Amino acid sequence: MSAPVKVAVVGASGYSGAELLRLLLRHPNAELVAVTSRSLAGKALSKQFPRFRGVGVADSLTFTAPDAADLKEAGAEIAFLALPHGVSAEYAIPLLKLGLKVIDLSADFRLRSPVLYEEFYGHAHPAPELLNEAVYALPEVRGDAIQAARLIACPGCYPTSILLPLIPLLKAGLLAEAPISVSSMSGATGAGRKESIPLLFCEVQNSVRSYSVPSHRHLSEIGQELALAAGRDEVKLTFVPHLVPTYAGICTTTFAQLKPGATVADVRTALHAAYDHQPFVRLLGENQSPDTKNVTGTNFIDIGWAFDARAGQLILMSTEDNIGKGASGQAVQNMNLICGFEPTAGLLNI
Amino acid sequence: MSAPVKVAVVGASGYSGAELLRLLLRHPNAELVAVTSRSLAGKALSKQFPRFRGVGVADSLTFTAPDAADLKEAGAEIAFLALPHGVSAEYAIPLLKLGLKVIDLSADFRLRSPVLYEEFYGHAHPAPELLNEAVYALPEVRGDAIQAARLIACPGCYPTSILLPLIPLLKAGLLAEAPISVSSMSGATGAGRKESIPLLFCEVQNSVRSYSVPSHRHLSEIGQELALAAGRDEVKLTFVPHLVPTYAGICTTTFAQLKPGATVADVRTALHAAYDHQPFVRLLGENQSPDTKNVTGTNFIDIGWAFDARAGQLILMSTEDNIGKGASGQAVQNMNLICGFEPTAGLLNI
Amino acid sequence: MSAPVKVAVVGASGYSGAELLRLLLRHPNAELVAVTSRSLAGKALSKQFPRFRGVGVADSLTFTAPDAADLKEAGAEIAFLALPHGVSAEYAIPLLKLGLKVIDLSADFRLRSPVLYEEFYGHAHPAPELLNEAVYALPEVRGDAIQAARLIACPGCYPTSILLPLIPLLKAGLLAEAPISVSSMSGATGAGRKESIPLLFCEVQNSVRSYSVPSHRHLSEIGQELALAAGRDEVKLTFVPHLVPTYAGICTTTFAQLKPGATVADVRTALHAAYDHQPFVRLLGENQSPDTKNVTGTNFIDIGWAFDARAGQLILMSTEDNIGKGASGQAVQNMNLICGFEPTAGLLNI
Amino acid sequence: MSAPVKVAVVGASGYSGAELLRLLLRHPNAELVAVTSRSLAGKALSKQFPRFRGVGVADSLTFTAPDAADLKEAGAEIAFLALPHGVSAEYAIPLLKLGLKVIDLSADFRLRSPVLYEEFYGHAHPAPELLNEAVYALPEVRGDAIQAARLIACPGCYPTSILLPLIPLLKAGLLAEAPISVSSMSGATGAGRKESIPLLFCEVQNSVRSYSVPSHRHLSEIGQELALAAGRDEVKLTFVPHLVPTYAGICTTTFAQLKPGATVADVRTALHAAYDHQPFVRLLGENQSPDTKNVTGTNFIDIGWAFDARAGQLILMSTEDNIGKGASGQAVQNMNLICGFEPTAGLLNI
């Protein structure tokens, strides 16, 4: 077996960061050589995350302040950025210059257009020159480009659950141009680990609520990728996310109209053609509802579909772990691709 | 103050039945004179429901086997039926004959058409001659008919949350004929109180999942009422319910297309015209998401709306308690109407 | 019926404050004339608490900055203080001077000894001259004193659940002097409504943990009251609280040793003698475990007991709502006593 | 690396069985060759447990009816029994005769005394001749005996959490003879996967309640092992378990009295001496509360302790996963010992 790749995690105090550490601490081909966090500098990993105590380097590795040169000196070949939107870009630049590959979990490099970025994120893009180079890294869609990339933009959690069922259907030309409607439900890790009264246990446990209606930021990357898949200027889509009282897991239900002549059998064919050889996409079949409890803690996305003959509408149903396949699992899946590891390495724990 | 109305509850072992008892035990104008349950006969109310111990007649009233003549003899003027679908009808007939008014919480009298009933419920309707007399009892829509009725069909939980936002818009002719898409999330009381592995705590608490896709039974009454409101033969609608890990509460998100020329301002106007004088409909305004935690345990339905200008779609958002406004609260609201009580009597606890 | 008492709530942004508002908005004998909160001044009650929208004065009453003269001018006869420990005392003084009665939910007036207060709360008591006047207001234990008081110290949530089962046994001389051990589990409202990462949904929902071991502040008032009941200088007691993932509810399990000669029948007799005529104490019997779900949202405390013959130990089990009987419900119960209202007025909702 | 051991799981429809499969499907040194369940015979593993779809043999292996000869023929060298109490014994006998080693997760072989078994389990022991041979398999306490055993009795979930903190203290003679009090809280997987109304989501999610007071069956094995550790005929202990609304995890709080002269420093020394070289016991230190969320899904037990100087009592606090270290994780840990594998093989996933 070849030597493991040396990796660093920049900004690991949140839920995606912790999930990334969880996966990397036990990855058979990766060695975690540095973890940074301005606020936690000097603290051992397992002091911050008592769950990791006694596992791998969790007791011996301490957080350091983030500094590109230090990461290079620690031997890191790949840096994962688990930072807030707008912050990632400034860390990516020096790391790339020093020759590291960068796998970014934020939204900073997901859009091709700096104009669209500014519209949805409210400020000018800090490194527009990198947008063309970055790869919007859905491994099942863009595997070749990922293998060759040095700057990886991991898709958002909602977008992953929405795009994977829709892209094969749009590529196959099965959907009409009527607006698509998407209702997603996410566990609370999706809202982040921050001091916030609306995210308290007592505010969430008895609550189901939509939010960011009608313009969640993820609409921008969803629209970009759907248009690319459809070969059209635009694919109209309405997206309503909901917060539900679970730790993790996204359940997405999508309503779309088939083109005249297209059938649910065509849907089945297109999905199987796209995903039968993909280890992390599990196609459940017609009228089969996926369940978040079967995917949380994993890198799987489960997909079912149904046709409502009365109303003439297609229903797509997908579940994934928002911090797994929707974030950190997918980031590790991308690392496996970049490094030529077994695609499932470190990702089959259930 | 006039004498209280004497009421009986037939079949009170489930969650809707318990909620009904909770409301009736404390209702200022109702006297609970009988509670029936074949399996619980002889047991005191508060023995079965320890939460009610020490409150009103809960310690003194015991369950009896269900018998129409006994209820009549106990003085009951109104009987609430909290029975499974298909069973209610056979109990309603003798009660009506004996002169009681019947408020049924099951689906047995919700449909006008025995053919549609058979299609969705899988067996011939046991009392088709009563279908024309029964009133589909949304108090905000059909108040006059309810006051005059002796057989009340309380709407289903999902239908209530879907119909109340849509009916004023269809009546006002604001919606295009494109299929409407509805995604609803319900707490687990909606699935009933029965021995069932999929409803165990360990199967639900970490789970978000759709079910009954694509043909939930509630589609039948939703379709009937929307067509009536629209004055059309049919209103196309796709409905996907989800089970989420809360005790109670429904959150419904509806996607629809406005007719050319109609605006979100018209939506606002139509909703306010319909509900400004209704004590249990709370209109939250544009881009305001309702939250189930504000309505559970109450008889309120909260409604918000938004217009997605990019995709050109209207979004309606509503929350209610599935066993409150979606079942037992609404049943008591109907009783208040029938008896001429204050509309909010016994229903403003928060 | 006599005129309702006019009440004010000082500091109502937390969970106990909201529960107090919930009870007072619907109390048949109370009129809520003022609600204060420095941070919420100018906001309508129902804007802050959307659950209350459309109920009583919730839409018309707005928060004001806390000022004793203003409360007096608004006509308030009783002021409830739902403030942090250490802050209540300074508000109590001017209110008492203006002739209002004060019902304090904080710990500020629970201890007789300013020395003990300083030991447990870390600062000198701000109004030690009031400590002798204040009544530690367990209505079932000290009803007469409460009726005559103008300064009420509502007991803590844990202490209420611990004291009510133990006091009759200590008074009857049934317990040995061996240390008593208490394990309590509380829902998360007990920890308050504050921006705090350890109280986030994602940190609580999958977590059971003890805290403040071995010296929770509530030990001070528990010790004071047990010693009084026993007529001894000291009653030794070890107390370990746990945070469990529920919104509300305390479950307390107490281990004690009977005096030689005392039996579990004596325990039963003492408890029944103390509480048979108390409307909010429900004695479940021997080997009967109470359940928090039967008391949340109510003012009841449910008590069971058992004798472990193998180990020779008595087990006491009690459940209550930490913000109900453990805080705001008890505060309203005290108001009913002070005002001579029906003891259960406004408190029998289930 | 040596060939993997071939294992079978008998009775895998419950939560412990599923956890066992989860661990064995990914164990680097084990090959799952058979899984039995009378009710599921013929069904693929991943059909019953959709979470396992696409992982290892989960899609290819099907349940078979339980038959000792079949398991032998399938090549199984070790059989795990995840069966109800009373059923395991009859399966163990033929398996042992055929030369398999048996790791039993039930209570059938935990007690040395058939009399005690009958007292607590209500029927005569089905194979009393095996009781002396079976090893009560706490790996940290009885490692040598486990390595040599062919019949392993895995300890109960509560007992593991209670015994591991207490045994070193009893062995070191640090505890007085006063009765020990134990309060444990368990997640709902501990109650099993069975059709039961009290275990429904709606009955558990808002509930904290004790049960089986005062004589839970686990008292028998706890008493046996404590007496052995103390070298006394009996160690008095009162045990109260509680059901709390989590999927998994046990939090145990133990109250004990130190012998005159013994100190909390002695406690620390004894615990470190016993566990510093044990990979799955994590000692958190004095006044440190463990949290179930750090151990669920793992094989770790976290232990903290405190001394309440006021009452003169020692507090021990421990957390583990009831189906991990408390059942299936410990079973695999025992397999590792028996087979001479790395002690942590397959057990360090976090």
pLDDT digits (tens, 9 = 90+) for A264-318: 999 999 999 999 999 999 999 999 999 999 999 999 999 999 999 999 999 999 9
C21 touches chain D (CB under 8 A): no
Classify residue A138: in a domain, yes or no.
Answer: yes
Q: What is the pLDDT of residue B2?
A: 65
CA-based nearest distance C279→chain B, Å: 7
Best of C199, C203, C213, C236 to disrupt the D interface (most D CBs within 10 Å) is: C213
Question: How many other C-beta atoms are found inside a 10 Å radius of the C-beta of residue C60?
Answer: 9
Give chain A positions within 8 Å (CB) of D344.
Answer: none
Q: What is the pLDDT of residue B85?
A: 87
Q: What is the pLDDT of residues C14-61, one digit of tens each?
A: 999 999 999 999 999 999 999 999 889 999 999 999 999 999 999 999
Give chain A positions within 8 Å (CB) of D188.
Answer: none
% of chain A with per-residue pLDDT over 90: 96
Exactly one of B154, B157, B251, B339 is catalytic; name it: B157
D313 touches chain C (CB under 8 A): yes
Q: What is the pLDDT of residues A1-16, one digit of tens each?
A: 568 999 999 998 899 9
Q: What is the pLDDT of residues B303-315, one digit of tens each?
A: 999 999 999 999 9
ipTM of the prediction: 0.96
Only one residue has tokens 């003990």, namely C116
DSSP single-letter state for residue B232: S
D244 touches chain B (CB under 8 A): no
Give chain B positions within 8 Å (CB) of D189.
Answer: 202
Q: What is the mean pLDDT of residues A48-56?
A: 96
The verdict on a CB contact (< 8 Å) between C178 and D178 is yes
**φ, ψ (nearest 5 deg) of residue A68:** -60, -45
Mark whether C121 and C173 lie in a shared domain: no
D140 touches chain A (CB under 8 A): no
Q: Pairing state of beta strands A101-104 and A78-81? A: parallel
Strand, helix or coil for residue D153: strand
Q: What is the pLDDT of residues A234-267, one digit of tens each?
A: 999 999 999 999 999 999 999 999 999 999 999 9
Mean pLDDT of chain A: 96
Q: What is the pLDDT of residues B242-254, one digit of tens each?
A: 999 999 999 999 9
The verdict on a CB contact (< 8 Å) between B195 and D193 is no
Q: What gap in Å lies between CA A145 and CA A283, rounded to an integer?
A: 25
**φ, ψ (nearest 5 deg) of residue A22:** -55, -45
Please identify among residues 42-71 of chain B the ones whose CB lies closer than 8 Å to any CB of chain C. Answer: 50-56
CA-based nearest distance B283→chain A, Å: 15
Classify residue C348: in a domain, yes or no.
Answer: no
Tell me the CATH number at C188: 3.30.360.10
Q: What is the mean pLDDT of residues D55-67?
A: 95
Mark whether C162 and C210 lie in a shared domain: yes
Mark whether B140 and B252 lie in a shared domain: no
**φ, ψ (nearest 5 deg) of residue C110:** -85, -25
What the block records as the tokens of B127 is 């009392």
A319 touches chain B (CB under 8 A): yes
Give chain B positions within 8 Å (CB) of D201.
Answer: 188, 199-201, 203-205, 245, 247
Q: What is the pLDDT of residue C86?
A: 87
The gap between the terminal CA atoms of chain C, to the nearest Å, is 24
Q: What is the mean pLDDT of residues D31-42?
A: 95
B282 touches chain C (CB under 8 A): yes
- DSSP H helical segments within chain A, as ranges? 15-25, 45-48, 68-73, 88-97, 114-121, 139-148, 157-171, 201-204, 218-230, 264-275, 329-339
- Asked if B224 and B141 touch (Cβ cutoff 8 Å), the reply is no
Classify residue A348: in a domain, yes or no.
Answer: no
Q: What is the mean pLDDT of residues B335-348?
A: 97
Give chain C positions within 8 Å (CB) of D309.
Answer: 214
Strand, helix or coil for residue C342: coil
Closest residue of chain D to C186, computed from CA coordinates: D208
Q: What gap in Å lies between CA B135 and CA B151, rounded to an integer?
A: 7
Mark whether B186 and B117 lie in a shared domain: no
Closest residue of chain C to B46, computed from CA coordinates: C294
**φ, ψ (nearest 5 deg) of residue C264:** -65, -25
Return the bridge partners of B258, or none: B175
The side-by-side arrangement of strands in the sheet containing C209-210 is C209-210, C237-243, C180-186, C250-256, C313-320, C301-308, C281-286
Q: What gap in Å lies between CA C49 and CA C52, rounded to an integer?
A: 6
List the domain range (segments joined by +) for residue D301: 158-322
Classify residue D190: in a domain, yes or no.
Answer: yes
Question: How many other C-beta atoms are found inside a 10 Å radius of the C-beta of residue D211?
Answer: 14
The verdict on a CB contact (< 8 Å) between A300 and D54 is yes
Closest residue of chain B to C296, computed from CA coordinates: B51
Classify residue D348: in a domain, yes or no.
Answer: no
Q: What gap in Å lies between CA B214 and CA B206, rounded to an integer?
A: 23
Confidence check: pLDDT of D206 > 80:
yes
Confidence check: pLDDT of B182 > 60:
yes
Closest residue of chain A to D22, computed from CA coordinates: A350
Give chain A positions within 8 Å (CB) of D350.
Answer: 22, 25-26, 51-52, 55
Mark whether D103 and D205 lie in a shared domain: no
**φ, ψ (nearest 5 deg) of residue D179:** -60, 140
CA-based nearest distance C5→chain D, Å: 34
Crossing angle for the helix pair A15-25 and A329-339, to the nearest 10 degrees: 40
Mark whether D10 and D149 lie in a shared domain: yes
Q: What gap in Å lies between CA B318 and CA B159, rounded to an integer?
A: 11
Q: What is the pLDDT of residues B129-153, one digit of tens each?
A: 999 999 999 999 999 999 999 999 9
DSSP single-letter state for residue B307: E
**φ, ψ (nearest 5 deg) of residue C261:** 95, -25
Strand, helix or coil for residue C199: helix
Q: What gap in Å lies between CA B66 and CA B46, rounded to an integer?
A: 19
Classify residue D350: in a domain, yes or no.
Answer: no
Confidence check: pLDDT of B15 > 60:
yes
Half-sphere exposure (Cβ direction) of A149: Cα atoms closer than 13 Å: 27
Q: What is the mean pLDDT of residues A212-220?
A: 93
- Asked if A235 and A176 touch (Cβ cutoff 8 Å), the reply is no
C242 touches chain D (CB under 8 A): yes
Q: Pairing state of beta strands D313-320 and D301-308? A: antiparallel
| Cis preceding linkage at A241, omega within 30 | no
A349 touches chain D (CB under 8 A): yes
- Asked if A313 and A248 touch (Cβ cutoff 8 Å), the reply is no
Q: What is the mean pLDDT of residues A147-160?
A: 98
- Asked if B207 and B187 touch (Cβ cutoff 8 Å), the reply is no
CA-based nearest distance C175→chain D, Å: 15
Strand, helix or coil for residue D52: helix
Element containing residue A318 per DSSP (H, E): strand A313-320
Instruction: For residue B255, give every residue at least 6 positions away whose Cβ sits within 8 Å of its Cβ, in sequence order, or none.
Output: A179, A181, A183, A238, A240, A255, B180, B181, B182, B313, B314, B315
Kindly report the pTM of this predicted structure.
0.97
Mark whether D176 and D287 lie in a shared domain: yes
Tell me the CATH number at C141: 3.40.50.720
Please identify among residues 170-209 of chain C the ones whose CB lies closer than 8 Å to any CB of chain D. Answer: 178-181, 183, 185, 187, 203, 205-209
Classify residue C346: in a domain, yes or no.
Answer: no
Q: What is the pLDDT of residue A2?
A: 65
C318 touches chain D (CB under 8 A): no
The verdict on a CB contact (< 8 Å) between B51 and C25 is no
Q: What is the pLDDT of residues D210-224, one digit of tens each?
A: 999 998 999 999 999
Length of chain D: 350
The verdict on a CB contact (< 8 Å) between D298 and A26 is no
DSSP for C50-71 reads GGGTTSGGGTT-BEE---HHHH
Q: What gap in Å lies between CA A32 and CA A93, rounded to an integer?
A: 21
Among residues A268, A276, A281, the alpha carbon closest in space to that of A160 is found at A281
Among residues D39, D180, D92, B58, the alpha carbon closest in space to that of C294 is found at B58
D121 touches chain C (CB under 8 A): no
- DSSP H helical segments within chain B, as ranges? 15-25, 45-48, 68-73, 88-97, 114-121, 139-148, 157-171, 201-204, 218-230, 264-275, 329-339
Give chain A positions within 8 Å (CB) of D293.
Answer: 51
Q: Which of D189, D193, D202 sits opposite B197 (nearest CB)?
A: D193
Mark whether D304 and D330 lie in a shared domain: no
A278 touches chain B (CB under 8 A): no
Which chains contact B through at least 3 pairs of Cβ atoms less than 8 Å apart?
Answer: A, C, D
- DSSP H helical segments within D86-156, as ranges? 88-97, 114-121, 139-148
Q: What band does B62 get if pLDDT is binned at 50, 70 and 90? A: very high
Q: What gap in Å lies between CA C48 and CA C45, rounded to an integer?
A: 5
Number of domains observed in the structure of chain B: 2
Element containing residue C167 per DSSP (H, E): helix C157-171
Tell me the one-letter amino acid at C83: L
Q: What is the pLDDT of residue A12?
A: 86
Closest residue of chain A to D27, computed from CA coordinates: A349
DSSP single-letter state for residue B325: I
Q: What is the mean pLDDT of residues D72-94?
A: 94
Q: What is the pLDDT of residues B101-112, one digit of tens each?
A: 999 999 999 999
DSSP for C104-146 reads E-SSTTS-S-HHHHHHHHSS--S-GGGTTT-EE--TTT-HHHH
Mark whether C305 and C331 lie in a shared domain: no
Classify residue D346: in a domain, yes or no.
Answer: no
% of chain D with per-residue pLDDT over 70: 99
CA-based nearest distance D73→chain C, Å: 42
Q: What gap in Å lies between CA A180 and CA A289, rounded to an integer?
A: 19
Question: How many other C-beta atoms are found inside a 10 Å radius of the C-beta of residue D75?
Answer: 12
Q: Is A339 a catalytic residue?
A: no
CA-based nearest distance B324→chain D, Å: 15
Question: How many other C-beta atoms are found inside a 10 Å radius of the C-beta of residue B302?
Answer: 28
Instruction: For residue D126, give every residue at least 6 positions away whose Cβ sits within 8 Å of its Cβ, in sequence order, or none.
Output: D86, D89, D90, D108
Only one residue has tokens 């301005």, namely A38
Q: What gap in Å lies between CA A110 and CA A224, rounded to an integer?
A: 9
All residue ranges of chain C with pLDDT < 50 are: none
Among residues D127, D141, D120, D34, the alpha carbon closest in space to that of D80 is found at D34
Question: How many other C-beta atoms are found inside a 10 Å radius of the C-beta of residue A349?
Answer: 18
Confidence check: pLDDT of D1 > 70:
no
Mark whether B25 and B128 lie in a shared domain: yes
Closest residue of chain A to C15, computed from CA coordinates: A202
Give chain B positions within 8 Å (CB) of A187.
Answer: 208
Give chain C positions within 8 Å (CB) of B344.
Answer: none
The verdict on a CB contact (< 8 Å) between C213 and D287 is yes
Q: What is the mean pLDDT of residues B29-44?
A: 95
Mark whether D129 and D86 lie in a shared domain: yes
Give chain B positions within 8 Å (CB) of C57.
Answer: none
Closest residue of chain D to A277, computed from CA coordinates: D54
Q: What is the CA radius of gyration of chain A?
A: 20
% of chain B with per-residue pLDDT over 70: 99
- Asked if C45 and C37 touch (Cβ cutoff 8 Å), the reply is no
Best of C19, C193, C202 to disrupt the A interface (most A CBs within 10 Å) is: C202
Give chain B positions within 8 Å (CB) of D247.
Answer: 201-202, 205-206
CA-based nearest distance B199→chain D, Å: 6
Q: What is the pLDDT of residue D350?
A: 87
Instruction: For residue C115, give every residue at least 6 positions away whose Cβ sits within 8 Å of its Cβ, in sequence order, or none.
Output: none
Mark whether B127 and B227 lie in a shared domain: no
Q: What is the 3-state secondary structure (H, E, C) of A270-304?
A: HHHHHHCCCCCEEEEEECCCCEHHHCCCCCCEEEE
Instruction: For residue C201, give every residue at least 6 positions away whose Cβ sits within 8 Å of its Cβ, in sequence order, or none.
Output: A188, A199, A200, A201, A203, A204, A205, A245, A247
